Chains A and B, each alone.
Chain A
């Protein structure tokens, strides 16, 4: 290995280390506080799910009623966990991809605290009975400007970094992340202004809320997760993305199709007749961006199967991409007007789909990113491969159970609702076993995440391993893909080497 190449590698590594160091406080803050809200959300999810089959469970106080815990659970999953982990990953990825250190870490950190304040006020508002009752917008109306302004303060620096990036083509991840960063304020401001500030017809407000929920999933969480996956997979396997044209197809179909989705939830309501049909068609068409991105990445990784098995990052990311395919199939399956749409319209299928999107797809990719990012910003390696494995497998069991149960149980529930000359209790009995299974599945997910929380806490306290070797899921001593002890610089150009 010649000296110049070694120096170039060294300079690259020093730049990366500088970026990581500049971002370590805000990124760690977003990841840890996101994880803390995830814990609260999971506990509230278990409580609200238990109330479906055991209504007397914790019926002591008004703030633990189903209507409040369910709303608090979903809103925390979205704004407490989903957005914060997305912030952490976006600011890190945008800095790395633009090759700029973060010059405003303090401001980002402050804005992150403001966001957390908004989320806390919102969730207390829900629990004390001041929720708005609009799905995914249950936080009291005064919180949305707080969230929007802190969002802008957190991510404006990533726009600046993108503006001053070195010359060269824009990488696929940057397309997705930039799009998500631009779409969120548009969607969030539109929905909140049209519902809270200039309210029109209440039926249309319900339509806007349905569109907002769908746009959050398809125009924020999906592009953030895809942008992250398009970074992690080539980075860890060391292979280029299989097909540039397929990536373009996936991105532009997402951008063109998905803003139309959402209003199918109002099928049969007195809104312009074509809106629900356009919404249903667009949601079915989510299959195209989802399949082209997932297949592209899975094929990229398929030539490095052993790396996928070894790397915690890739294991989670691959599981998330499989979750994306399942989510896309589900989107097509439960939204066919005249057949399945009326069964899923007012049943727990919709909830199952949201959990598929936020947990099975988005969160799994985010866990992958966390397992990649945290060792770099803390300069410690993950402590234990067993904790990672427990997190992975129990999460998989939980999410598979919850998705199957909520989607198919919701269809059962829908069939019960269609038989409108049966008493309502018959529908509750149809959904009863599924409600039990949902509670058990949430318990699985909580248990798996306890391992994750502990592990993240240890890393946050800088108690990770001080080592030059990454923590891999399979140990094969003597045959490490990273070379023998002491030989760390084995990542020269032209060699296909993983970088866990």
Chain B
């Protein structure tokens, strides 16, 4: 109630007076909350605290440094940064395409090497021709211990194959010349996991490097291996660090991604 109505005034002949007690009683019930309030006092005039000024100064410096990084801030001829390139990863990891599991990355690299080095004789399906060139599918030399396979690829083979049969060509020429460890590893991984071969493992670059060392240390270095030499000396897996097939690697250099 902002003002008492005339009906509530028990003293009609004293118009300008207000029955304070009664008005107060009504106000009390209806506006108790507003009666508790007092006017907001005038503003205080404390000075700005020194630590607030210092803190704001620090933030100003930070913001200034941010603006400073903008370079040619008001040079309107040079508003956008040309040739935008992505920043390096702080860890120093190589740039490049998205990483892939090792088995897939090695195999897809090996596929190209197979096409250039092996396709001519063993064929696009790796089944050979049955008379001159042997099949690589299910061959014990291929899917068995990795060391025999590596020796045959690097040095070639003369005489009977894993099945005991001597094929028309009689000799497989050495393929090791100019080959790198990465190429050998990916070629072997590809052949061992394609055309129906499913060893499921990866020949690591470290293992391929060891294969070159073993090949160079052979007694008859430079000559083709034979089935007898394989049976005598190379019936084992290649030494060197094993790479799990699911490890994520960088497809450009086949090293594990960070």
Q: Do A and B come from one complex?
A: yes
A244 and B43 CA atoms in complex are apart in Å by 6
Q: Cβ of B47 and Cβ of A245 under 8 Å apart?
A: yes
A13 neighbours in B (Cβ, 8 Å): 27, 31, 34-35, 37
A285 at the B interface (CB under 8 A): yes
With A234-B40, A244-B45, A245-B47 as contacts: A421 and B257 at CB distance below 8 Å: yes
A51 at the B interface (CB under 8 A): no
CB of A73 to closest CB in B, whole Å: 32
A291 neighbours in B (Cβ, 8 Å): 52, 55-56
CB of A236 to closest CB in B, whole Å: 9
Chain A residue nearest in CB terms to B43: A244
With A10-B27, A488-B28 as contacts: A268 and B40 at CB distance below 8 Å: no
Per-residue 0/1 for A9-22: is the Cβ within 8 Å of any B Cβ (1 yes, 0 no)? 11011111110100
B198 neighbours in A (Cβ, 8 Å): none
Q: Cβ of A17 and Cβ of B93 under 8 Å apart?
A: no
A64 at the B interface (CB under 8 A): no
B59 neighbours in A (Cβ, 8 Å): 284-285, 287-288, 332
Q: Cβ of A284 and Cβ of B42 under 8 Å apart?
A: no
B66 at the A interface (CB under 8 A): yes
Q: Cβ of B43 and Cβ of A240 under 8 Å apart?
A: yes
B89 at the A interface (CB under 8 A): yes
Q: Mark the stretch among B96-104, B123-131, B168-176, B213-221 that contacts chain A.
A: B96-104
Q: Cβ of A270 and Cβ of B80 under 8 Å apart?
A: yes
With A273-B81, A421-B97, A422-B257 as contacts: A338 and B48 at CB distance below 8 Å: no
B14 at the A interface (CB under 8 A): no
Per-residue 0/1 for A287-330: is the Cβ within 8 Å of any B Cβ (1 yes, 0 no)? 11001100100011000000000000000000000000000000
Per-residue 0/1 for A415-454: is the Cβ within 8 Å of any B Cβ (1 yes, 0 no)? 0001111110000000000000000000000000000000
A499 neighbours in B (Cβ, 8 Å): 36-38
B40 neighbours in A (Cβ, 8 Å): 171, 231, 234-235, 240
Q: Cβ of B63 and Cβ of A242 under 8 Å apart?
A: no
Q: Cβ of B258 and Cβ of A336 under 8 Å apart?
A: no
B90 neighbours in A (Cβ, 8 Å): 418
B233 at the A interface (CB under 8 A): no
B98 neighbours in A (Cβ, 8 Å): 420-423
Q: Cβ of A246 and Cβ of B48 under 8 Å apart?
A: yes
Q: Cβ of B33 and Cβ of A9 under 8 Å apart?
A: no
**Contact count A vs B, C-beta below 8 Å:** 185
A418 and B91 CA atoms in complex are apart in Å by 11
CB of B214 to closest CB in A, whole Å: 33
B140 neighbours in A (Cβ, 8 Å): none
B27 neighbours in A (Cβ, 8 Å): 10, 13-14, 17
CB of A117 to closest CB in B, whole Å: 33
B1 at the A interface (CB under 8 A): yes
A243 at the B interface (CB under 8 A): yes
B16 at the A interface (CB under 8 A): no
B3 at the A interface (CB under 8 A): yes
A195 at the B interface (CB under 8 A): no
Q: Cβ of B34 and Cβ of A245 under 8 Å apart?
A: no
Q: Cβ of B56 and Cβ of A422 under 8 Å apart?
A: no
B41 at the A interface (CB under 8 A): yes
A284 and B90 CA atoms in complex are apart in Å by 24
B41 neighbours in A (Cβ, 8 Å): 234, 238-240
Q: Cβ of A338 and Cβ of B69 under 8 Å apart?
A: yes
CB of A228 to closest CB in B, whole Å: 13
Q: Cβ of A488 and Cβ of B32 under 8 Å apart?
A: yes
B86 neighbours in A (Cβ, 8 Å): 420
CB of B163 to closest CB in A, whole Å: 42
B70 at the A interface (CB under 8 A): yes
Q: Cβ of B44 and Cβ of A242 under 8 Å apart?
A: yes
Within 8 A of A (CB), among B64-83: 64, 66-67, 69-74, 78-81
A10 and B55 CA atoms in complex are apart in Å by 45
A146 neighbours in B (Cβ, 8 Å): none
Chain B residue nearest in CB terms to A338: B69
A231 and B257 CA atoms in complex are apart in Å by 58
CB of A459 to closest CB in B, whole Å: 12
B2 at the A interface (CB under 8 A): yes
A281 at the B interface (CB under 8 A): yes
B177 at the A interface (CB under 8 A): no
Number of interface residues of B (CB under 8 A): 63
A300 and B89 CA atoms in complex are apart in Å by 48
Tell me which of A18, A287, A376 contacts B33 (CB under 8 A): A376
B87 neighbours in A (Cβ, 8 Å): 342
B60 at the A interface (CB under 8 A): yes
A280 at the B interface (CB under 8 A): yes
A499 and B46 CA atoms in complex are apart in Å by 24
A202 at the B interface (CB under 8 A): no
Q: Cβ of B31 and Cβ of A243 under 8 Å apart?
A: no
A249 at the B interface (CB under 8 A): yes
A20 neighbours in B (Cβ, 8 Å): 34
Within 8 A of B (CB), among A3-41: 3, 6-7, 9-10, 12-18, 20
B49 at the A interface (CB under 8 A): yes
With A243-B45, A285-B60, A482-B36 as contacts: A421 and B96 at CB distance below 8 Å: yes
Q: Mark the stretch among A148-156, A219-227, A489-497 that contacts chain B.
A: A489-497
With A240-B40, A332-B62, A418-B89 as contacts: A245 and B35 at CB distance below 8 Å: no
**Which of B29, B46, B89 has most A Cβ within 10 Å?**
B46
A16 neighbours in B (Cβ, 8 Å): 31, 34, 37
Q: Cβ of B48 and Cβ of A292 under 8 Å apart?
A: yes
Q: Cβ of A241 and Cβ of B66 under 8 Å apart?
A: no
Chain B residue nearest in CB terms to A172: B43
CB of B66 to closest CB in A, whole Å: 5
Q: Cβ of A488 and Cβ of B66 under 8 Å apart?
A: no
Q: Cβ of B31 and Cβ of A14 under 8 Å apart?
A: yes
A466 and B28 CA atoms in complex are apart in Å by 11
Q: Cβ of B67 and Cβ of A241 under 8 Å apart?
A: no
Chain A residue nearest in CB terms to B67: A281
A274 at the B interface (CB under 8 A): yes
A420 and B23 CA atoms in complex are apart in Å by 76
Q: Cβ of A419 and Cβ of B89 under 8 Å apart?
A: yes
Chain A residue nearest in CB terms to B66: A281
A-B pairs, top 3 by smallest CB distance, nearest first, are: A277-B70, A468-B32, A17-B31
A–B Cβ pairs within 8 angstroms, 14 of them = A10-B23, A13-B27, A13-B31, A13-B37, A17-B34, A240-B41, A243-B46, A245-B45, A273-B71, A274-B70, A284-B62, A284-B63, A421-B99, A423-B98
Name B residues whose Cβ lies closer than 8 Å to a Cβ of A: 1-3, 20, 23-24, 27-49, 52, 55-56, 59-60, 62-64, 66-67, 69-74, 78-81, 84, 86-87, 89-90, 93, 96-99, 248, 250, 257-258
15 further contact pairs, Cβ within 8 A, besides A13-B34, A13-B37, A288-B60: A12-B37, A238-B41, A239-B41, A244-B44, A245-B47, A270-B80, A271-B80, A272-B80, A291-B55, A291-B56, A332-B59, A338-B69, A379-B31, A421-B257, A467-B32
